[in-house]
Amino acid sequence: MTFEPTELTPEDVDKAIDYLKNHEIKRRECLKCGKTFCPSYSLDMCDECYFLPLPKKDVEKFYRGFFE
């Protein structure tokens, strides 16, 4: 599994800020562990449970892609 770094433009950031200003952030309960979370990658599981089956190196590489 390969991950490409995410590239954000100033317009992407502006759109995200506008969205957050104008919409309520909905929280859900993880179907696997039960803790409350804001949906991102999965609508049914928190990030921790969503990435749990993946090898640790792949998860680290994925998250590192946001900062490179």
Domain residue limits, the chain? 10-61
Residue 34 structure tokens? 């039960």
How far is Cα 42 from Cα 45, in angstroms, rounded to an integer?
6
pLDDT, tens digit, 9 for 90 and up, residues 4-29 = 777 888 999 899 889 888 888 788 99
DSSP label at 66?
A: T
pLDDT, tens digit, 9 for 90 and up, residues 24-62 = 878 899 999 999 988 877 678 998 898 899 999 988 888
pLDDT for 43 equals: 75
pTM: 0.53
pLDDT at residue 1 greater than cutoff 70? no
**Three-state secondary structure call for residue 63:** helix
